[in-house]
């Protein structure tokens, strides 16, 4: 029997030391990482030649080789993250490529910015509990975009130019219609459909049919976006629902501000009140199932303890679940516990395995602390730049005064200048 004081070992679910499948996966990541580390071309080698040579030897395209090389060299610039990788081999090649591709948008960032991003990634990718779910490549890419945006708001991390696409597919008397638009437009369309569905008490699909056939009018003035920002931190980054941290020029009719610094009271009924819903969405960020990236604002809110069994409609008893994972829980194929203090969810599966997912929204404890650290970084950066500007001004003033004194000294001489 283990001692009650035995230290808890923290690790990510894909590196579970007691699971042979996880260990085989880790061995593959390690082999890939060490292989490419051993054949990296020198920085002064011709890039086209190197990528072609390695592509022929590995069976990969020159473009793929180039992306791997850049990802590997980027890791060398991030010493804290590299130390984690060298020790535990957490990141696969697609993750390294994602980190480099987003960070490349900074151009040649200052050493301070690189160090800040390195430290933030190392903190995020250090497990704090056993069997903690490791972020997907998409989640890593999103976190990198957030980091890049708050450290340099002069760049665009995504191409926001219009690339709207529409398609329709008919089959067996049914039609599938697909519309691809900018996320800001998509959110407004979604909110307009949702408002019509709630008003007319129909499904989202029926509401869209009513709107597009002209049977009801859209209530565009009611469409709002929700933002989250720490009220007790000066210059804290803003999180916009559906967009991420510090997104500008959002074409919304209104931005709601609600105080979510404390948990709202329970709703008297099954359906959560707006404050309860927005708190849970802001805490969870995405569907709380392991590896699911469905945004929380598109998910259903599930009562951990069923409402019929006395479970309150309160954030401490609710999590965001997409339709698919909500069905899994309802069907009994998965079960979870919710820690109301940390927001952690412990999933238990039919085969006896388990995993822990952490909340990833702006109200999650880690992200609230991250917002504070970012604000501190911004404050420190501005203070340093102000100090450097003051020092430069003093140097310029001193130089100007010295030149003036020299000219004055020439003018005071008894002899004329011989030219």
287 and 351, same domain (yes or no): yes
CB burial class (10 A; 0-12, 13-18, 19+) of residue 25? middle
pLDDT for the residue 398 = 79
199 and 284, same domain (yes or no): no
pLDDT at 259 over 80: no
pLDDT for the residue 233 = 58
User: What's the residue count for the chain?
Assistant: 419
> Band of the pLDDT at 418, cuts 50, 70, 90?
very low
- Measure the CA angle with vertex 361, ends 360 and 365; round to 5°: 75
31 and 134, same domain (yes or no): yes
pLDDT for the residue 249 = 47
pLDDT at 381 over 60: no
pLDDT at 319 over 90: yes
Write out pLDDT tens, residues 55-114: 999 999 999 999 999 999 999 999 999 999 999 999 999 999 999 999 998 888 888 889
Query: In the listed set 93, 123, 151, which residue is the last one of a domain according to the structure?
Result: 151
pLDDT for the residue 326 = 93
pLDDT at 248 over 60: no
pLDDT for the residue 119 = 94
pLDDT for the residue 87 = 96
pLDDT at 372 over 90: no
Residue 343 falls within a domain, yes or no? yes
17 and 136, same domain (yes or no): yes
Residue 158 falls within a domain, yes or no? no
User: Whole-model pTM above 0.85?
Assistant: no
Tokens of 178: 């697909």
196 and 308, same domain (yes or no): no
Pick the range with the lowest mean pLDDT from 153-157, 261-265, 300-304, 394-398. 153-157
Mean pLDDT along residues 269-278? 91
30 and 130, same domain (yes or no): yes
Q: How many domains would you assign to the chain?
A: 3
23 and 72, same domain (yes or no): yes
- Higher pLDDT pick, 378 / 181: 181
What range does the domain containing 296 cover?
A: 261-365
């Amino acid at each position: 029997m283990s001692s009650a004081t035995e230290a808890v070992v923290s690790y990510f679910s894909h590196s579970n030391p007691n699971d042979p499948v996880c260990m085989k996966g880790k061995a593959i990541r390690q082999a890939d990482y060490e292989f490419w580390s051993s054949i990296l071309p020198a920085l002064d080698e011709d890039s086209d030649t190197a990528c072609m040579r390695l592509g022929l030897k590995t069976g990969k395209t020159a473009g793929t080789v180039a992306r791997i090389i850049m990802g590997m060299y980027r890791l060398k610039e991030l010493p804290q993250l590299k130390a984690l990788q060298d020790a535990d081999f957490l990141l696969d090649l697609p993750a390294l490529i994602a980190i480099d591709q987003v960070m490349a948008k900074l151009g040649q960032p200052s050493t301070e910015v690189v160090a800040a991003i390195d430290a933030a990634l190392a903190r995020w990718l250090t497990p704090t509990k056993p069997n903690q779910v490791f972020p997907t490549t998409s989640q890593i890419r999103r976190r990198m975009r957030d980091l890049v945006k708050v450290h340099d708001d002069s760049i665009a991390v995504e191409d926001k130019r219009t690339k709207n696409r529409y398609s329709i597919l008919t089959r067996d008397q049914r039609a599938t219609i697909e519309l691809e638009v900018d996320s800001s437009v998509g959110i407004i369309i979604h909110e307009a459909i949702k408002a019509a569905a709630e008003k007319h008490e129909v499904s989202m699909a029926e509401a869209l049919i009513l709107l597009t056939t002209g049977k009801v009018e859209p209530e565009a003035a009611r469409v709002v976006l929700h933002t989250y920002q720490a009220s007790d931190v000066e210059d804290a980054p803003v999180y916009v629902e559906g967009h991420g941290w510090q997104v500008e020029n959002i074409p919304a009719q209104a931005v709601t501000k609600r105080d979510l610094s404390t948990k709202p009271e329970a709703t008297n009924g099954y359906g959560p009140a707006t404050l309860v819903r927005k708190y849970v969405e802001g805490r969870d960020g995405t569907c709380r199932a392991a590896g699911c990236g469905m945004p929380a604002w598109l998910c259903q809110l599930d009562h951990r303890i069923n409402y019929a069994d006395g479970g309150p409609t309160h954030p401490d008893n609710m999590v965001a679940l997409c339709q698919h994972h909500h069905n899994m829980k309802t069907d009994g194929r998965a079960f979870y516990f919710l820690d109301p203090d940390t927001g952690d969810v412990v999933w238990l599966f039919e085969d006896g395995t388990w995993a822990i997912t952490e909340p990833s929204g702006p109200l999650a404890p880690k992200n609230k602390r991250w917002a504070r650290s970012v604000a501190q970084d911004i404050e420190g950066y501005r203070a340093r730049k102000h100090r450097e500007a003051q020092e430069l001004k003093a140097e310029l003033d001193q130089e100007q005064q010295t030149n003036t004194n020299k000219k004055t000294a020439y003018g005071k001489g008894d002899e004329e200048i011989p030219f």
